[in-house]
C-alpha cells in the first residue's frame, strides 16, 4: 500500500466512523479559557486510530495532528491530520464537518484527502495530478467579477488577541465590494468547495495549525486556483493569514486584504 491509498482509506473510514456519533457526540473537553476551544473524545480517539494505522505501514514517517503531540520521523514524510474539522458543528448537529489528511514530503504538501461523511464527498489530490471529488475531476469557478464573488470566511484561532479585529476588517472589505460571504465552520471542507467551484474565494485569519489549511490549499491549487498569504507569499506552515481564490482576480484581492 502506498501513502496515497492509505490516506484515502483512513479519511473515508474514520470520517464514516465519526459520523456514527453525530447523535451522541459526548461532552466537550475544554483546551483553553475560550468556550469555543474544545475537543471531543471521538475526535481524540479518531486521531489515535489514524496514527496507529500510519505507524503500522510507515513507521518512519512523522505525524502532526491537532489532538496529540507531534511524533518525529526519519523518512522525510510527515502526515498532517485533522480527524474532525468542524468540531463545534459536529457537536451542535450541523452537517459541515470532515476528516482531513495531508502528507508532506520535504516540507511540501504532496497528497491531500478530505472526506465529508454527511454529503459523502471524498476529495483527493496528488501534487501535479489535478483535484477530484468521488473520482471526478474538479476545477475552480471562472467568476471574474468580484462583486459577484461568494467568499468563504474560514474561522481561525479565536484566542489570538487580534483575530476578532482582523476578521471584522476582512468581512467589512468583502461587503464593501458588494460581494457575499458564508461561514460554515469547517475550513478544510470550505477550501474543497472552493476547489469545486462552489466558492470563488476564501479568507482565513490566524489558523490554529497547519492541519487547518494544508490539505485544502493543495486541493485549491490542483483545481486551478491560487493560494497565498495576505502579502502574496507562497502558503506554507508559517502562513499567518490565508487568501485562496479561483485566480481570476487574485492580485486585486491581495490589494484588498494586504493592509
Q: Average pLDDT of each block of 10 consecutive residues along the chain (259 residues)?
A: 96 93 59 56 89 96 87 94 91 91 95 97 98 98 97 81 80 91 93 98 90 96 97 93 96 88
Determine the longest span between alpha carbons in the chain, in angstroms. 52
Pairing of strands 150-154, 136-138: unpaired
Which pTM does this prediction carry?
0.93
At 147 the pLDDT is 95
At 136 the pLDDT is 98
At 23 the pLDDT is 61
Taken in order of first residue, the domains within the chain and their CATH numbers are 3-138 (3.30.540.10), 146-257 (3.40.190.80)
Geometric angle at alpha carbon 53, from 47 and 58, rounded to 5°:
120
At 208 the pLDDT is 82
The three cell numbers locating residue 206:
490566524
- Cα–Cα distance, 145 to 26 (Å, whole number): 44
Geometric angle at alpha carbon 225, from 137 and 97, rounded to 5°:
70
At 30 the pLDDT is 45
Which residue from 124, 128, 149, 150 is spatially nearest to 137, judged by alpha carbons?
124
Pairing of strands 180-182, 150-154: parallel
What does each C-alpha distance from 90 to 118, 154, 185, 186, 258 come to in angstroms? Answer: 11, 16, 10, 10, 33
Amino acid at each position: 500500500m502506498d501513502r496515497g491509498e492509505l490516506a484515502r482509506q483512513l479519511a473515508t473510514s474514520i470520517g464514516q466512523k465519526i459520523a456514527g456519533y453525530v447523535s451522541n457526540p459526548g461532552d466537550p473537553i475544554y483546551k483553553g479559557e475560550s468556550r469555543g476551544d474544545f475537543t471531543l473524545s471521538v475526535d481524540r480517539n479518531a486521531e489515535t486510530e489514524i496514527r496507529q494505522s500510519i505507524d503500522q505501514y510507515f513507521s518512519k514517517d512523522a505525524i502532526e495532528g491537532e489532538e496529540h503531540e507531534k511524533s518525529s520521523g526519519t523518512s522525510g514524510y510527515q502526515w498532517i491530520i485533522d480527524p474532525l474539522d468542524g468540531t463545534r458543528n459536529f457537536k451542535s448537529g450541523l452537517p459541515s464537518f470532515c476528516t482531513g489528511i495531508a502528507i508532506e514530503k520535504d516540507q511540501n504538501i504532496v497528497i491531500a484527502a478530505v472526506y465529508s461523511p454527511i454529503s459523502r464527498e471524498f476529495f483527493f489530490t496528488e501534487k501535479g495530478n489535478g483535484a477530484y471529488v468521488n473520482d471526478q475531476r474538479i476545477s475552480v469557478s471562472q467568476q471574474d467579477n468580484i462583486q459577484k464573488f461568494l467568499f468563504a470566511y474560514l474561522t481561525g484561532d479565536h484566542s489570538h488577541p487580534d483575530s476578532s479585529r482582523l476578521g471584522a476588517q476582512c468581512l467589512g472589505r468583502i461587503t464593501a465590494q458588494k460581494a457575499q460571504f458564508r461561514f460554515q465552520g469547517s475550513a478544510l471542507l470550505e477550501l474543497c468547495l472552493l476547489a469545486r467551484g462552489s466558492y470563488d474565494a476564501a479568507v482565513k485569519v490566524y489558523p490554529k495549525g497547519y492541519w487547518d489549511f494544508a490539505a485544502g490549499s493543495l486541493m485549491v491549487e490542483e483545481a486551478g486556483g491560487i493560494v497565498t498569504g495576505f502579502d502574496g507569499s507562497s502558503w506554507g506552515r508559517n502562513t499567518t493569514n490565508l487568501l485562496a481564490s479561483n485566480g481570476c482576480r487574485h492580485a486585486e484581492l491581495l490589494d484588498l486584504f494586504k493592509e
